[in-house]
Amino acid sequence: MHSRIILSVAVCWFATTATSSQADESVAAQDRPLNVLLIMADDIGFECFSSYGSKEYDTPRIDALAKQGIRFTNAHSTPLCTPTRVNLMSGKSNVFNYQDFGIYPNGEPTFANHFQTHGYRTAVAGKWQLQGKQPGKGITPNEAGFETWCLWNIPGGARERYWKPSFVQNGRLLDLPPDSFGPDVMTDFLIDFITDDSDKPFLAYYPMILVHNPFVPTPDSEGGKRVDNAKRTVKQQKQNYVDMVAYMDQCVGRLVDALQASGQRDNTLVIFTGDNGTNAVLSSQLDRKTIKGGKGYTHDYGTHVPLVANLPGHIPPGQVNEDLIAFSDFFPTIVQAAGLPPKAIKDGDGRSFWPQCLGRPGHQRQWIYGYYFPRPYAAKLDNKYSHYEVRYARDKRYKLYDNGDLYDTIADVMEMAPLLIDNANTEQQAARDHLQRALDAYPTKGQAIRHDQVSSERKPGHKKRSND
């Protein structure tokens, strides 16, 4: 039965692309092929953007992209960086191919492989974290389909990412001046790439270094004085984070300006998102509520991320869309937007949200499936980053875990009290039933994990909550 269900998921991919082919004709048929710029910030939830209602953070350039395009209010990642990156690049739920933290499954095609196969120039700059030091562990940028790259957290480089950073560019360790600020180096690299005089269209992927800790002053921070991380007060850390969010926004703006200056803005799809929720040491104010960063946790503040898409002349401005979006969906979306043939994908569960970008209903998700097991081979699975294997399915309101816990994510966003089984409550019972069917449509364990090597500390079916 399982193979039949998964087959229907795969067929759904093709059906979505086929039935929506008319929705992308205007882009695919234009004189110039579509360029794609996919930007993913590091460790920032939806609550840190003024377009989502924040009064604390200043993000005018991303807000402008949202105002002139579409802003999604129900996009959900996994709660940690590597799982999200694997999910995003492969177009598959982590239950099918996730192996271990810091590793991309070798031989698993990426969206860059797909675009490169169809004649695109490809580049990536920013945080890699998908290749181990041991041969065969993970994937190189070239194997992932990127012809040129400038990356941090890749073999050959050191740990510093911000001031006087250690980056590897196309296999060579860069010798940067002491006053170099890492995000500027990465942004400059991509500007050079997208403005290069070429007849080929491009795919540029920017998994940003910002705004991950350590929380440092940026070149625009008042006074510009750098304080050792261990000596920073909580207030200084928060102020530095606010400055880093503003600088992240500025980097996005520089890329948009470069597209405009090079005459490519009108044929470049710009997508902005984040890889997981905000760092849990930080709290932010939104709609008179205090939101504690949820990175590492499976509740909404760990998975609810911003998502903005912008393409002048094609994506109608001023749209706010409440459809559920999973990170498996990015791959088929950018493929459909570019008018490329869909990738034949085994066990794929992504759905294109390109029709929604164009203001059409599209193939709306009724639920999102989530799988979280970031470090399966850790000595102990006892905290939010070395987490017990957990599966869940959610709709816009309810979330059901594989241990049977059902939560109302609106009334109980921190998931403190599972709902009691109440057969008289028809809404909750219907939610439980349809979310259980979603869980049953997927494997009960990660398919790429050696479960015989998993720590004996693992507790099957247990879900770590924010108060554990």
pLDDT-above-90 percentage for the chain: 79
What pLDDT is recorded for position 227? 54
What pLDDT score does 1 carry? 36
- Calculate mean pLDDT across residues 148-153: 98
Kindly report the CA angle at 320 between 319 and 326, in degrees rounded to 5? 120
Of 134-148, 256-270, 292-306, 337-351, least confident by mean pLDDT is 337-351
Mean pLDDT of 280-304: 95
> Per-residue pLDDT tens for 157-177?
999 999 999 999 999 999 999
Query: Between these two residues, 222 and 132, which has the higher pLDDT value?
Result: 132
More confident residue, 328 or 385: 328
pLDDT at 16 over 50: no
pLDDT digits (tens, 9 = 90+) for 95-104: 999 999 999 9
8-14 LR contacts (CB < 8 Å, sep 24+): 9/347, 9/348, 9/349, 9/441, 10/345, 10/346, 10/347, 10/348, 12/351, 12/363, 13/332, 13/342, 13/345, 13/348, 13/349, 13/350, 13/351, 14/342
pLDDT given at position 465: 45
pLDDT at 258 (0 to 100):
98
**pLDDT for 82 beyond 50:** yes
pLDDT of 444 over the 80 cut: yes
What are the Cα distances from residue 366, in Å, to 62, 300, 435, 440? 28, 17, 9, 15
pLDDT for 2 equals 37
Domains, the chain, with CATH or none: 2-368 (3.40.720.10)
pLDDT band at 225 (very low <50, low <70, confident <90, very high): low
| Helix (H) or strand (E) run with residue 8 in it | helix 2-19
Residue 346 is predicted with a pLDDT of 76
pLDDT(466) > 60:
no
Residues 6+ apart with CB under 8 A from 446: 94, 95, 98, 371, 373, 376, 389
The model's confidence at residue 12, banded by pLDDT at 50, 70 and 90, is very low
pLDDT the model gives residue 312: 97
- pLDDT for 164 equals 93
Task: Taking residues 284-294, report their average pLDDT.
Answer: 94
Query: What is the reported pLDDT for 265?
Result: 97
What pLDDT was estimated at residue 66? Answer: 98
Quick check: 398 and 435 in contact, CB under 8 A?
A: yes
First to last CA, the chain: 36
Using CA atoms, how far apart are residues 73 and 76, in angstroms rounded to an integer?
Answer: 9
Mean of the per-residue pLDDT values of the chain: 90
Checking if the pLDDT of 429 tops 80, the result is yes
Amino acid 18: pLDDT = 40
* Rounded CA separation 298/144 (Å): 28
Res 230 pLDDT > 60: no
pLDDT at 307 over 80: yes
Beta carbons within 8 Å of 450's beta carbon, 6+ residues apart = none
Residue 92 above 70 pLDDT? yes
Stretch 12-28: mean pLDDT:
44
Q: CA-CA distance, 419 to 216, in Å (whole number)?
A: 42
Q: Does the pLDDT of residue 295 top 80, yes or no?
A: yes
CA atoms within 13 A on the CB side of 225: 5
Cβ–Cβ < 8 Å for 374, 101 = yes
Let me know: does 392 contact 400? Beta carbons within 8 Å. yes
Long-range CB contacts (within 8 A, 24+) of 377-384: 377/100, 377/453, 377/454, 377/455, 378/455, 379/455, 379/457, 380/455, 380/457, 381/454, 381/455, 381/457, 381/458, 381/459, 382/457, 383/296, 383/464, 384/79, 384/280, 384/295, 384/296, 384/297, 384/464, 384/468
Q: Which residues lie below 8 Å from residue 31, measured CB to CB, with a gap of 6+?
A: none
* Predicted confidence band of residue 267 (pLDDT cuts 50, 70, 90): very high
Indicate the range of 90-99, 219-228, 280-289 predicted with least confidence.
219-228
Distance CA 452, CA 241 (A): 41
pLDDT of 135: 82
Cα–Cα separations (whole angstroms), residue 28 to 12, 268, 328: 22, 12, 22
pLDDT for position 232: 64
Weakest mean pLDDT among 14-28, 35-49, 183-197, 386-400: 14-28
